[in-house]
Each structure stands twice: as structure tokens, then as C-alpha cells.
Amino acid sequence: MNPVFPSSWLSLVLIFLTTSKGVSGATFTVTNKCGYTVWPGILSNAGSSPLESTGFELPSGGSRSFQAPPNWSGRFWGRTGCTFDPSTGQGSCSTGDCSTNQLECKGQNANPPATLAEFTVQSGGQDFYDVSLVDGYNLPMIVEPNGGSGSCMMTGCAADLNQQCPAELKVGSGDACKSACEAFGNPEYCCSGAYASPDTCKPSTYSEMFKAACPKSYSYAYDDATSTFTCSGADYFITFCPSVASQKSARDSSANAGTSSTNTSSGAEPGGFDSSWFSNILTGDSSCNNVSSSARLFALICSTMVVLFLRL
């Protein structure tokens, strides 16, 4: 028998244990393809530990990865037009600012308008992710799962909505585009008061404008059915200003992140889940958390055996 068998087997087990999503949680890789610097902000939801950074500078072309703990939930966004004093570290951003007056956001949320990438990772179960324009838009952003099982579609808003923003929603000279809720505050735009349910809160001409430009993004609070995506056991790429070429090369041809010229009616159906899933998550109902852990274990054992076989 091969004398290295026990130790190589042990190291393989260790490798698989440490790379298994059920144990370690997802890796998020944030990439800036904009022609300008972006200062991403990261907010962990209540009950999730913060990632390694809560706010950092990402030059054009730059990329940075974060290992999330199991069952992490939270959001990523991009701040633009930031200036931080090199000596004091103090400063602010013209869009997406988090009001800390410094580089790190330290548990503070993005000030709208800001494009948001939202994640609920369920280690050993199904992750939910979306790109939301409910709090407005400040820059193009897409989310692409890497690996994982399930439908795992790319989502996001690749279009430049600052160009198409109606004057009454525009911030500055086109730095960002407010939601109608933020601009006007009416309950029917905000899905509040008498409009605080999926039955009463309907798309507005404004949210429809966002939806037409970015069909896979949340355009108003109850836009779940075409805006929430699922995948199990994946890592995630979050890209600011994705190029048109990279959208076209996406492995799933139906996963176009949405330019205004695209008919996504064939690809936009996340398929079969109840639009109350979000409240289920909030209330801890695990009916969506339905990926067999024995399937995961089987895959782990199989891949261990294959690698082991190849090495012997």
C-alpha cells in the first residue's frame, strides 16, 4: 500500500472541509470596471458579523475578495466622488455616502440614492440575492454567482440610469437617480401606509422606467417575483460598471443583466417560489431552505474519492 495514503487522505479531507460552503460561507469578490475609483461600502445585517472591511477604496480595474462567515446576510454598494483627507482620514462621498465621515462604514447604511446588492446566504441551503434600485441608483452593478447549484443567474443593473434619469429624480448633474419614493415621499411610491402590501403597492411610471432599463433589478418594494434570485453553495462576483462584452460572455445566455434593448421575458422568471419568501426569511421560516444536505455530503464524498483516486 502507498504509505502516504493516510496523510494525503487527511489533507484532502481538511481541504474539502475548509473549502466547503457549508462550513466556511461564501466568498464575495468585488471588482471595479468603472473608469473611475469606487469606494465600496459593506453593511452586515443584524445578527451577521461584519466582513473584513466595511468600506474601502477600489481603484478602476481593482478587485478585492471577502470571506463571509456561514449564514451571512448584508449588502454591498459603491460610493462615488469620495474625498478623504490623507492625514485625518476624514471625508465624504457625493453618492452612496454612509455618514461616518470616514472610509469605513462601520455598520452605517448607504444614503440613497444607491444601487444595492443584497445577499442572504444560507449555508447548507439556498442563498437569495438581488440588486435593488428601491433606494435609487448611483452606478451600474451586477452580481454573478460562481459555482453553486440551482438556477444561479446573473442579476443586476448594467445600464447607465444616470443618463436616462428624469429631471425630477436627478441628483446633481446626473451623479445618481432617486427613487420616486425618495423624491416625492408619497405612500403609493414608498409602499407605505395603505400601500404597504403587494396587493396595494403597484409599479409606478417611475419604477417602470427603472424596470425597463434594468429588468432583473428590484424597481419597487414588492418587485420580488422577477428580481430575487437563488443559488446554493456559490461564491459571488459583484462588479461595478460591467462591460457589455462581459455580459455577453456570461455562461447563462438568459442571464443578461439588463440593458434597455434586451427582451428578458424568457429569462426573468426565477421560477416557482412564493413572493412572500422575503417575509419568510425575516420571520425565520425555513421552507425555502430546502437543499438536501445529504446531496451536499454525497458530492463531497464523491469528489474526495475522485481526487484520491487520481492521486494514487
Residues forming the site for ligand NAG (CB under 6 A): 70-71, 122-125, 263, 265-266, 286-287, 289-290
Minimum CB distance to ligand NAG, residue 100 (Å): 28
- Compare residues 48 and 179 and give the one whose CB is closer to ligand NAG: 48
- Compare residues 90 and 275 and give the one whose CB is closer to ligand NAG: 275
Cell of 194: 395603505
- Compare residues 123 and 256 and give the one whose CB is closer to ligand NAG: 123
Minimum CB distance to ligand NAG, residue 304 (Å): 21
Q: Which residues contact 69 (CB under 8 A, 6 or more apart)?
A: 25, 48, 49
The rounded distance, in Å, linking the Cα atoms of 302 and 308 is 10
Minimum CB distance to ligand NAG, residue 99 (Å): 31
Q: Is the peptide bond before 69 cis (omega within 30 degrees of 0)?
A: no
Terminal Cα-to-Cα distance of the chain (whole angstroms) = 10
CA neighbours within 13 Å on the CB side: how many for 114? 25
Minimum CB distance to ligand NAG, residue 264 (Å): 8
Minimum CB distance to ligand NAG, residue 124 (Å): 6
Q: Quick count: other Cβ atoms within 10 Å of Cβ 68?
A: 25
The rounded distance, in Å, linking the Cα atoms of 236 and 170 is 31
- Compare residues 113 and 125 and give the one whose CB is closer to ligand NAG: 125
β-pairing verdict for 235-240 and 141-146: antiparallel
The most distant pair of C-alpha atoms in the chain lies apart, rounded to whole Å, by 76
Minimum CB distance to ligand NAG, residue 225 (Å): 16
Inter-CA distances, 32 with 37, 54, 94, 245, Å: 8, 16, 17, 15
- Compare residues 70 and 147 and give the one whose CB is closer to ligand NAG: 70
Minimum CB distance to ligand NAG, residue 121 (Å): 9
- Compare residues 90 and 292 and give the one whose CB is closer to ligand NAG: 292
Task: Identify the three-state secondary structure at position 296.
Answer: helix
Instruction: Quickly list DSSP for 86-147.
Output: TTT-BEE-SBS--SSSBS--TTPPPPSS--EEEEE--TTS-EEEEEE-TT-BSS-EEEEEES
- Compare residues 62 and 70 and give the one whose CB is closer to ligand NAG: 70
Minimum CB distance to ligand NAG, residue 169 (Å): 23
- Compare residues 55 and 124 and give the one whose CB is closer to ligand NAG: 124
